[in-house]
């Protein structure tokens, strides 16, 4: 495991990091070729001559100085030294004359930091370690210095040692020493560097920082509130630089980008962080195709060299098709098991809940087919799928085994007639051992439940050893033609923006804005990778009147809060559009990390806490005074109040 991460890290660091493929002119071209092919100098300006991980037989005889942490010691003869780049074996001198060196290296506790100087020698024949990239050599030490000792650690710094996430987050600075975290963060840095290179050097984008102290704005996610010294006045942390980047277009900075920190107070969600990073982009005089090509080129250019290259252009799918075939707006297209409308097969059904659904005007019957389901799924699996559908979607799901004759004596399944069974087999191309999961109801609801079950089935089958989603495959997809508005969740009679209120309507649907706004499609596009939304954007409204109408009349928002933007649109705003890529999620998928917290140096816990420093933390009343704030403690929070000056206990 370790050697696999290490070799990937080393390969990534020591191979040229990609090639400039675009035609660029003159000296810029030469500079770029140089910068993109250069192997970074890893030991400039510091006490070491080399990294622990880089030494090979080609270094034999060289005098080197290394700095690192003590990873292992064996019989007071060998020491394994570690830095971010890898491990190297150091031979502890045994002769009397080097007694002081031996003492340092034998007495320093594990994870102490040492500096050693010596000669690179080859290991005696038969003692090479082919699993270690530096396994052919060792260091014959002449001098050593203990730079700092290490006390007893809360966990061992070895990737294979299991630790809870809470403990990792509490001691994040130790967790960062793991090769896995080193790999993730260094890969992230390299990809961002390549993105900057692509955007700024190849395509003339300007990197502009926008404020993080902003104000409340309508629509979108919930914002974090920041008190100010003016009574009753608050800043907000921006959920994205959306308004600023549009204003930059009005200001003539017509190709903007930023590695932007965004903040959303959305409570705890497993795959979200209250603060996260976007590659935020905006351009003037651009259409959807322009933005899509830019992003395809950006990902292709910044893609790690140790992965299969990105193939462009990415396929695209309309929102309607994504919902109908995959039950979601972020389909995982690495595997089939698509949703099929089988309403016509069941027009004369005797099965009650199907009959019921089809008697309604919007009623449908839908199904997915799990190939080899009868072979790999157990009865309890199917039952748990049905329970999930019932508990979370209030939907009935019927399992049918059209060819395997294993209906578990279900009376409902038995009432499926022979011609319905054979029509189902034909329509869904069902093979031996195929299991059909069937549900009925309104189109969107039936698709949503089957979309969820499709993913659950893939998990179940993969847990049984089938490979449905090749882990080496990166399946990008554009989802387009979203509706401009959706019914508000809490009040379906009202509308909310499907993306955000600045998204332009689809040109062919503008005439419906005044009559049937729900039918209007938008110029919003999402980028999906392996079933995860990794980016989204839109062509914007640049006409102040249209923007005002959408905000005030259709979305019922207070336009005064956006008067600065509306005014700017009135002062010759160019047509513009943009996109933001969710950097954390993208890197998480590229590295195959189990959570976005594994690609963020100092993430918040699941509950939004910093377990290392104990943020958010309480403040004594006198510190709140300048902000005109008083805490109104909930009745049961005596403990909280008295914890103001207590030592901190992390989440378990």
Site residues (vs ligand ASP, CB under 6 A)? 240, 242, 536-538, 578-580
Residue 566 CB, nearest approach to ligand ASP (Å): 18
**CA 531 and chain centroid, separation:** 11
Nearer to ligand ASP, 368 or 541 (CB): 541
Closest CA to 10 of 84, 81, 61, 118: 84
Number of other residues whose CB lies within 10 A of the CB of residue 632: 5
Nearer to ligand ASP, 17 or 497 (CB): 497
Nearer to ligand ASP, 18 or 582 (CB): 582
* CA–CA dist 579, 208 (Å, integer): 15
Please name the residues in contact with 35: beta carbons below 8 A apart, sequence gap of 6 or more: 197
Look up residue 266 and give its two tokens: 């959305």
Nearer to ligand ASP, 177 or 521 (CB): 521
* CA–CA dist 158, 178 (Å, integer): 6
* CA–CA dist 562, 218 (Å, integer): 8
210 touches 49 (CB < 8 A): no
Residue 499 CB, nearest approach to ligand ASP (Å): 6
Residue 211 CB, nearest approach to ligand ASP (Å): 15
Residue 363 CB, nearest approach to ligand ASP (Å): 35
Residue 540 CB, nearest approach to ligand ASP (Å): 8
583 burial via Cβ count (<10 Å: 0-12, 13-18, 19+)? buried
Helix ranges (DSSP H) in 429-496 = 443-463
Residue 239 CB, nearest approach to ligand ASP (Å): 7
Residue 266 CB, nearest approach to ligand ASP (Å): 13
Nearer to ligand ASP, 331 or 578 (CB): 578
Residue 502 CB, nearest approach to ligand ASP (Å): 7
What is the pairing mode between strands 137-148 and 86-91?
parallel
Nearer to ligand ASP, 89 or 242 (CB): 242
Residue 322 CB, nearest approach to ligand ASP (Å): 18
Nearer to ligand ASP, 530 or 538 (CB): 538
486 touches 496 (CB < 8 A): yes
Look up residue 111 and give its two tokens: 């994870």
Q: Could you tell me what percentage of the chain is helix, strand and coil, using 3-state DSSP and rounding each to the nearest 5?
A: 35, 20, 45
Look up residue 383 and give its two tokens: 């039952």
Residue sitting closest to ligand ASP (CB): 240
Cα angle: 107, vertex 112, 117; to 5 degrees: 80
Helix ranges (DSSP H) in 276-417 = 288-302, 319-326, 352-359, 373-376, 379-393, 411-414
In total, the chain counts a number of residues equal to 652
Nearer to ligand ASP, 274 or 399 (CB): 274
Nearer to ligand ASP, 168 or 540 (CB): 540
225 touches 255 (CB < 8 A): no
Nearer to ligand ASP, 51 or 246 (CB): 246
Nearer to ligand ASP, 208 or 612 (CB): 208
Start-to-end CA distance of the chain, whole Å, equals 28
Residue 331 CB, nearest approach to ligand ASP (Å): 19
Element (H, E) at 103: helix 99-107
Nearer to ligand ASP, 240 or 273 (CB): 240
Residue 251 CB, nearest approach to ligand ASP (Å): 17
Classify residue 135 by its DSSP letter.
T
Number of other residues whose CB lies within 10 A of the CB of residue 642: 9
Residue 236 CB, nearest approach to ligand ASP (Å): 15
Nearer to ligand ASP, 92 or 262 (CB): 262
Give the CA radius of gyration of the chain.
Answer: 30
Nearer to ligand ASP, 17 or 240 (CB): 240
Residue 577 CB, nearest approach to ligand ASP (Å): 8
Nearer to ligand ASP, 68 or 535 (CB): 535
Residue 521 CB, nearest approach to ligand ASP (Å): 16
What is the pairing mode between strands 316-318 and 476-480?
parallel
Query: SS3 of 554, please?
Result: helix
Half-sphere exposure of 170 (CA within 13 A, CB side): 13
485 touches 362 (CB < 8 A): no
Residue 242 CB, nearest approach to ligand ASP (Å): 4
Classify residue 652 by its DSSP letter.
-
* CA–CA dist 579, 442 (Å, integer): 33
Nearer to ligand ASP, 281 or 457 (CB): 281
**CA 174 and chain centroid, separation:** 23
* CA–CA dist 376, 461 (Å, integer): 7
* CA–CA dist 402, 424 (Å, integer): 8
Residue 260 CB, nearest approach to ligand ASP (Å): 9
Residue 262 CB, nearest approach to ligand ASP (Å): 6
524 burial via Cβ count (<10 Å: 0-12, 13-18, 19+)? buried
Sheet with 435-442, strands from edge to edge, namely 340-341, 363-370, 435-442, 397-400
Nearer to ligand ASP, 39 or 221 (CB): 221
């Amino acid at each position: 495991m370790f050697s696999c991460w290490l070799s990937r890290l080393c390969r990534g660091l020591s191979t040229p990091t990609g090639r400039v493929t675009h035609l660029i002119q003159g000296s810029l071209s030469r500079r770029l070729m140089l910068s993109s092919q250069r192997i970074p100098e890893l030991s400039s300006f510091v006490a070491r001559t080399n990294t622990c991980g880089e030494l090979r037989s080609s270094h034999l005889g060289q005098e080197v100085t290394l700095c690192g942490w003590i990873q292992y010691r064996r019989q007071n003869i060998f020491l394994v030294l570690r830095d971010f780049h890898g491990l190297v074996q150091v031979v502890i001198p045994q002769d009397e004359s080097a007694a002081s060196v031996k003492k340092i290296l034998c007495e320093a506790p594990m994870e102490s930091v040492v500096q050693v100087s010596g000669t690179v020698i080859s290991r005696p024949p038969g003692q090479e370690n082919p699993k270690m990239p530096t396994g052919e050599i060792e260091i014959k030490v002449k001098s050593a210095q203990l730079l700092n000792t290490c006390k007893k650690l809360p966990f061992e710094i070895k990737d294979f040692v299991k630790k809870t996430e809470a403990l990792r987050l509490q001691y994040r600075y130790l967790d960062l020493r793991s090769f896995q975290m080193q790999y993730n963060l260094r890969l992230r840095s390299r990809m961002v560097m390549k993105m900057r290179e692509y955007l700024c050097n190849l395509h003339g984008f300007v990197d502009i920082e926008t404020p993080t102290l902003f104000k409340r704005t309508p629509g979108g996610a919930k914002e974090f509130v920041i008190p100010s010294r003016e009574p009753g006045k608050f800043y907000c942390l921006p959920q994205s630089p959306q308004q600023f980047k549009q204003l930059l277009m009005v200001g003539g900075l017509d190709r903007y980008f930023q590695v932007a920190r965004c903040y959303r107070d959305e409570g705890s969600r497993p795959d979200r962080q209250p603060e996260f990073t976007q590659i935020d982009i905006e351009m003037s005089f651009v259409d959807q195709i322009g933005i899509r090509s830019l992003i395809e080129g950006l990902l292709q250019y910044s893609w790690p060299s140790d992965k299969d290259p990105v193939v462009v252009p990415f396929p695209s799918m309309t929102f309607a098709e994504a919902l109908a075939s995959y039950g979601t707006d972020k389909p995982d297209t690495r595997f089939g098991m698509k949703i099929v409308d089988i309403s016509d097969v069941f027009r004369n059904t005797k099965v009650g809940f199907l009959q019921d659904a089809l008697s309604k005007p919007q009623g449908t019957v839908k199904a997915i087919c799990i190939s080899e389901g009868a072979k790999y799924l157990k009865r309890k699996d199917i039952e748990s799928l049905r329970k999930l559908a019932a508990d979370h979607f209030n939907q009935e799901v019927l399992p049918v085994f059209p060819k395997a004759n294993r209906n578990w004596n279900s009376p409902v399944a038995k009432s499926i007639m022979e011609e319905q069974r054979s029509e189902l087999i034909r329509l869904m191309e069902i093979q031996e051992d195929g299991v059909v999961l069937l549900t009925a109801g309104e189109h969107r609801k039936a698709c949503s439940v089957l979309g969820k079950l499709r993913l659950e089935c893939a998990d179940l089958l993969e847990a049984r050893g089938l490979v449905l989603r090749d882990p080496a495959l990166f399946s990008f997809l554009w989802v387009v033609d979203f509706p401009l508005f959706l019914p508000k969740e809490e009040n379906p009679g009202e509308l909310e923006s499907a993306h955000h209120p600045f998204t332009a309507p689809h040109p062919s649907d503008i005439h419906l804005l005044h009559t049937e706004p729900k039918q209007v499609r938008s110029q919003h596009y999402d980028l999906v990778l392996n079933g995860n939304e990794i980016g989204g954007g839109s062509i914007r409204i640049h006409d102040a009147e249209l923007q005002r109408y959408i905000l005030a009349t259709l979305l019922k928002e207070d336009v005064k809060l956006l008067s600065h933007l509306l005014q700017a649109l009135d002062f010759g705003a160019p047509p513009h559009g943009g996109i933001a890529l969710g950097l954390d999620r993208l890197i998480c998928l590229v590295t195959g990390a189990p959570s976005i917290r594994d690609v963020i140096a100092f993430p918040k816990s699941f509950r939004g806490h910093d377990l290392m420093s104990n943020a958010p933390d309480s403040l004594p009343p006198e510190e709140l005074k300048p902000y005109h704030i008083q805490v109104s403690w909930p009745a049961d929070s005596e403990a909280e109040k008295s914890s103001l000056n207590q030592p901190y206990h992390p989440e378990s």
